[in-house]
Structure 1
Amino acid sequence: MVLVSLGLKEGQIRVEDFGSKKSKFVMAHDSRVVCMSLTQDGRLLATASTKGTLIRIFNTLDGTRLQEVRRGADRAGIHSLAFSSNAQFLAVSSDKGTVHIFSVKVDSGSLASLTNDRSHVASDTIHSILSSFSLFKGVLPKYFSSEWSVAQFRLPEGLRHFVVFGNQKNTIVIIGMDGSFYRCEFDPSRWWGDDPA
């Protein structure tokens, strides 16, 4: 069992592991953390800050950062984060009227149980795209070497939307505060190429 809460410092997360009976403090962001989500088994933690451009994924066992994904370049209010049941994907909704789906890449050495069921199609696609920018690493800003979403959905801006993964494979359910309901499917083998919303 894992319990996660805000730490004492801005941008800090406190992780309570009831198995090992240890507390860990993780500096997740430079600014205030506004949204967090755990995988069903409590091994992975996703966080977003007030800036809303980067989402970070941590290993709750030792507090290490495993992955950083980019929602966009402009500031955004993150409304919800949700992992799929197999921890293969992470969904993010924001006040920009977008829902992004990211492929979660987990270090198979430290979290082998999560990678057994993973399809590597989306990871291979993203890796090949990122590899094409590797020639420019150190020359171009970090923005260009960021990991981008494998799917994106557009909704009305300004309305708060919450996202969860559906029972069917590669589906999400989005619920708006106005009572709106969307059920969307995505194809993780196709890279959509986000515009920086």
Structure 2
Amino acid sequence: MNLARQSISSTRPVNIYHVGLDPDCTIFTVVAPAGFAVYRTCPLALVRKRELTGGTLAAAVPLHASSLVFLLGGGRSPIYPPNKVVFWDDVLGAEVAELEFRERVRGLACRRGWLAVALRRRVVVFEIGEQIVRAGEWDTWDNPRGLLAIATGTYATLLAIPGKQHPVSIIAAHTTALTTLSVPPSGRLLATTSSRGTLVRVWDAVSGKLVREFRRGTDKADIFGVAFRPDEHELCVWSDKGTVHIFNLVVSNRQSTLSSLTPYIPLPKYFESEWSYAQYRIPSQSAHISLSATSIRSPVSEVDEERCVVGWIEAPGQESGPIQYQLLALTYAGGWYRLSLPKAAANNHGSPSKPGHQRTSSGSSSVKGKGKEKKDGSQKQSHKCVLEEFRRFGRWDGWG
């Protein structure tokens, strides 16, 4: 398998400050120096754009597919102070409310009727209706990244924040600092990563028990985000290495060929690790944020070519038969990538398993080893996602 970096050059400079997917991955927002725009994820289409005068934004976070967008000021000439969250109604084309804090806002997570705001050492939750009501506040561990995640399902009530002693469930997830928190819409599971960037751990959100542990790689990396497939059969993870890794939550993933010896020989835990069964390497000119939580970073003058947002979408043109999921990757360097999974994996849906229970399958995700070549040059199986469609961001309001 060849994962060598490709190079895709842009004909004009790209200056994207923020990209944000809504919790359902049906729309996304883009912030640029001139303002922000809202797009439909697939098929790609511009829904609306707003040019703002008087300053720049750090982020525009959509509330599902509604007209409400949460705006944060930032950059060299912030249009709003960094300690404010501004509610923008795009139907009215105006600000309708704002929240002001005594310190800079670090992150946001939202669902219908609710907004959670992460500050450096606390998280504040608001109920959004005819009035905005402060519903709760919790102290957190030092949280410069603004980590938090909220389940978006109809009856889900999970809010995940960096732990401190609370009269609620505490999960000792990692020995080093957390870098991401992610939950599926149901709130049944929780995925965590740490500053080491080598492991992704999946927990039962009710019992706090470890369900699965996946290995992204062996070298240190800054993991930008983890996203659950809506049916909780798979998850993807992406980092500053520029590679999107896909793991199966229903069946076993690839393991070392020596893993079968671990019951008999005291081998390091590395040999028991589950590796991603499929990957995609973002081209070098392009490749953060979790679907359910937005980490706010100030705009910079140079494009960060490794930053991206990844989410799960339903494959276009699949009106009948089982749902086929694909991945959408949006890069801060202006790339829009629609990716399909390897064919064998796409057809292997299986049924949901109980937490901690691993099924086996004849599908690709249970194959051990790393797909060596046969003597005739053919591959046993492809572990690389397929690029189905690519678009390049040209002007700030024109992904074409």
Distance, in Å, in 2 between the alignment partners of 1:147 and 1:24 is 27
1:30-109 residue pairs with structure 2 within 5 A? 30-105=175-250
Q: Which amino acid aligns with 1:134?
A: S
Q: 2:266 aligns with which of 136, 139, 156?
A: 139
Distance, in Å, in 2 between the alignment partners of 1:63 and 1:48 is 15
Does structure 1 residue 173 correspond to structure 2 residue 317? Answer: no
SS at match of 1:28: coil
Q: Deviations over 1:41-94 (max 9, x none)?
A: 000000110111000000111111111000000000011110001000010011
> Which segment is superposed worse, 131-140 or 165-174?
131-140
Aligned-pair distance for 1:104?
0.9
Identity %: 34
Aligned to 2:370: 193
SS at match of 2:170: strand
Distance, in Å, in 2 between the alignment partners of 1:81 and 1:91 is 6
Q: Kindly name which structure, 1 or 2, has the bigger radius of gyration based on alpha carbons.
A: 2
- Which portions of structure 1, spanning 4 or more consecutive aligned residues, are displaced by more than 3 angstroms? 129-132, 136-139
Normalized per residue, which structure has more helix? Answer: 1
Contact 1:91 1:100 in 2 (8 A): yes
TM-score normalised by structure 1 residue count: 0.75
SS at match of 1:134: helix
Distance, in Å, in 2 between the alignment partners of 1:178 and 1:130 is 35
Contact 1:83 1:90 in 2 (8 A): yes
Contact 2:244 2:280 in 1 (8 A): yes
Distance, in Å, in 2 between the alignment partners of 1:73 and 1:130 is 13
Q: Which amino acid aligns with 1:154?
A: R
Aligned residues: 164
Aligned to 2:86: none
SS at match of 1:24: coil
Q: Which amino acid aligns with 1:145?
A: E
SS at match of 2:203: strand
Aligned-pair distance for 1:141?
1.9
Aligned-pair distance for 1:133?
1.8
Aligned-pair RMSD on alpha carbons? 2.3
> Which segment is superposed worse, 154-163 or 92-101?
154-163
Does structure 1 residue 163 correspond to structure 2 residue 310? Answer: yes
Q: Deviations over 1:11-56 (max 9, x none)?
A: xxx7xxxxxxx71010000000110110110000001101110000
Q: 1:150 aligns with which of 277, 285, 290?
A: 277
Aligned-pair distance for 1:178?
1.6
Relative to structure 1, the CA distance from residue 86 to residue 131 in structure 2 (aligned partners, 3 Å threshold; closer, same or farther) is farther
Aligned-pair distance for 1:144?
1.7
Does structure 1 residue 4 correspond to structure 2 residue 181? Answer: no
Q: Which amino acid aligns with 2:201?
A: R
Listed as ranges, the gaps of 5+ residues in structure 1 are 15-21, 106-122
Distance, in Å, in 1 between the alignment partners of 2:158 and 2:269 is 32
